[in-house]
Amino acid sequence: MRRKIIAMVMTLFVFSSTTVAFADEKKADLKEGTKLLEQNSKVKMNKKPLSDKELRAAEGIKDLDKLNKAKLSLKAKNVTTKKGQAKEKYSLEKNKSGIASFAAEAAENTDPNNAYLLNFQTVINGNISVQGEQRWYNLAVDKNTRIATYLTMGADADFDLYLFKLDQTTMQLNLVKASESAIGQSEIVDDVVGPGIYYFMVSGYQGSGSYQLLSFGANSYIDNELNDTAATATTLSNNSFNINGAIDNPYDYDFYKAQLTSERMAKFNFTQPSGSGYKAYISTDGANFSEINTATTYDLNAGTYYFVVASSDGSFNNSNPYNLQLSSVGYNSNLLTVVYTNDLTSFFQVDSGRTNFYVNGNPINFSYSYENHVVNSAGWIDTYMNLYQRPEQNVAIYQSEVNQTSTDLPCFIKYQTNFAGGGSRNKALLLTVFNTSLSVNRYAGGAYAGEKAFYTSKMAEVVIDIDTGKVIDLVYPNYYYMYGNQSYTITKPYPSTYNSNLLQN
């Protein structure tokens, strides 16, 4: 069974938070402001990654490294090698019932006309009596199928494995693939084939003795097969991907390759069929691998990456897929990072001029409006709240800008409200803006005439949707929170790091 043990970890950080005035401070230093994040967010391995050979050897499969090298893509009429004894074609007797595909095991299966039926996932115990003897097996498939067949024998024997397809017009067997490794080494023939009748031949090139034959078949999620090595890796989208695949036998490796065009913060999501023991790995060279940690955000530089999915315990499922996703986290290395969560999943950033602000890569739009109308037999009330985005407005990010109010430094929060003009979120961004324009106009008549209210403010504390960059609530000053019966709750369950360079005045 396979045993793959590798890991990758990230360094994490600390959180600080305080509370905004309305004075412009020095402009944020782009170079200094990003240094902390750049120095601490690189992926680090907690041990030396396993090489491809070590990775495969850890699976506990004898000579698996050599088995993969033995996968031959033979050209037509290139069947007889200096070692091989197979003919290019074998002829079947036309008068054999069922084209000998399901012949009873009464006669010795030393020729294709008496081939035994080969069932998937069933170990066949066979014997080569004398050097040069052949043993034949066949099966039929009705759709495109991946067939992976493994042959093992004693250390003193050298048996070879061949796959043929039957031409049902000429009744001849044409060679598809062969495996001819050295003495005592296992053989593997692995290929994706079309509908038809196929024959396997075990050929006793040298020595005699017992052998075991085991074959696996799959016809679901095979579009990317064969991709069991870095050289045959399936090419993925450059910047993100979402792939479904299947581990269709215990020895299956699925290799993928992506060329990232720029540095990015990224997260992986990996799901697998129930009861499976699959693992996913990442490599920068296709030869050394580290296990992917889905709880970690990766800082991936531009370049080529290989991703591998394999079974760690011999489990496989050729009908239910695994899913591997890579998605970029909203981070721009050209911007100043003000605050970010320690798991590197959320970022509040600003340009060097403090004129444009971003959350998870989304430009923040500070406009907000809400209106409410009440009419009944007692009277009426019309309420309008509007926050206008002004060219000179700014976000309080320095300590001196938050000392004089009860508002906070920018931070990521969990936010819940019963206000119709708000929008509860499991994670949102809390900001204070100054040099802005907020107006509240509350017109009323009848019994409600005394509830008129008109005020403006150059400061507002707002809640930002991290997925869109839009204001989803005006926390202060909000008439409904200050004088009405609406309320909100803010908690800070997300350990975060505030860029300390911003606190220097």
Q: Is the dihedral of CA 423, 424, 426, 429 positive or negative?
A: positive
pLDDT higher than threshold 60 for residue 86: no
- Rounded to an integer, the average pLDDT of 436-455 is 94
Give the number of other CB atoms < 10 A from CB of residue 169. 6
pLDDT higher than threshold 80 for residue 29: no
pLDDT higher than threshold 70 for residue 230: yes
pLDDT higher than threshold 50 for residue 167: yes
Same domain, 398 and 422: yes
- Rounded to an integer, the average pLDDT of 69-80 is 28
pLDDT category at 55 given cuts 50, 70, 90 is low
Same domain, 427 and 311: no
- Rounded to an integer, the average pLDDT of 144-169 is 95
pTM of the shown model: 0.64
Q: Are strands 50-51 and 89-91 parallel, antiparallel or unpaired?
A: unpaired
Residue 4 lies in a domain: no
pLDDT higher than threshold 80 for residue 220: yes
- Rounded to an integer, the average pLDDT of 3-15 is 22
Residue 39 lies in a domain: no
Residue 476 lies in a domain: yes
Q: Which of 65-74, 84-93, 269-278, 306-315 has the lowest mean pLDDT?
A: 65-74
Same domain, 129 and 163: yes
Count, in order, helices (H) and strands (E) of the chain.
Answer: 4, 35
pLDDT category at 282 given cuts 50, 70, 90 is very high
pLDDT higher than threshold 70 for residue 138: yes
Please name the residues in contact with 427: beta carbons below 8 A apart, sequence gap of 6 or more: 346, 412, 413, 414, 466, 494
Q: What tokens were used for 175?
A: 């060679």
- Rounded to an integer, the average pLDDT of 272-288 is 94
Identify the domain boundary among 329, 357, 385.
Answer: 329
Same domain, 171 and 86: yes
Residue 17 lies in a domain: no
Q: What tokens were used for 298?
A: 């990766």
Residue 7 lies in a domain: no
Q: Report the DSSP beta bridge partners of residue 288.
A: 51
Which of 349, 398, 402, 405 minimizes the C-alpha distance to 503? 398
| Percent with pLDDT over 70 in the chain | 77
pLDDT higher than threshold 70 for residue 502: no
Same domain, 289 and 345: no
Residue 102 lies in a domain: yes
pLDDT for position 101: 33
Residue 207 lies in a domain: yes
**Which domain covers residue 249, as residue numbers?**
48-57+226-329
pLDDT higher than threshold 90 for residue 74: no
Same domain, 309 and 367: no
Identify the domain boundary among 270, 300, 329.
Answer: 329
Same domain, 346 and 473: yes
Residue 13 lies in a domain: no
What does the radius of gyration of the chain's CA atoms come to, in whole angstroms?
Answer: 34
pLDDT category at 486 given cuts 50, 70, 90 is very high
Please answer whether residues 188 and 163 qualify as being in contact, where contact means their C-beta atoms are separated by less than 8 angstroms.
no
Q: Are strands 234-235 and 253-260 parallel, antiparallel or unpaired?
A: parallel
Same domain, 210 and 233: no
- Rounded to an integer, the average pLDDT of 144-156 is 95
Same domain, 281 and 261: yes
pLDDT digits (tens, 9 = 90+) for 328-343: 888 887 889 999 998 8
Identify the domain boundary among 313, 329, 345.
Answer: 329
Same domain, 208 and 179: yes
Into how many domains does the chain fold? Answer: 3
- Residue 383: phi and psi, rounded to 5, are -120, 135
Same domain, 444 and 361: yes
- Residue 227: phi and psi, rounded to 5, are -140, 50
pLDDT for position 407: 73
Q: Which of 27-41, 166-180, 262-276 has the lowest mean pLDDT?
A: 27-41
Same domain, 212 and 112: yes
Which CATH number do you get for residue 271? Answer: 2.60.120.380
- Rounded to an integer, the average pLDDT of 224-230 is 95
Q: Are strands 411-417 and 425-446 parallel, antiparallel or unpaired?
A: antiparallel
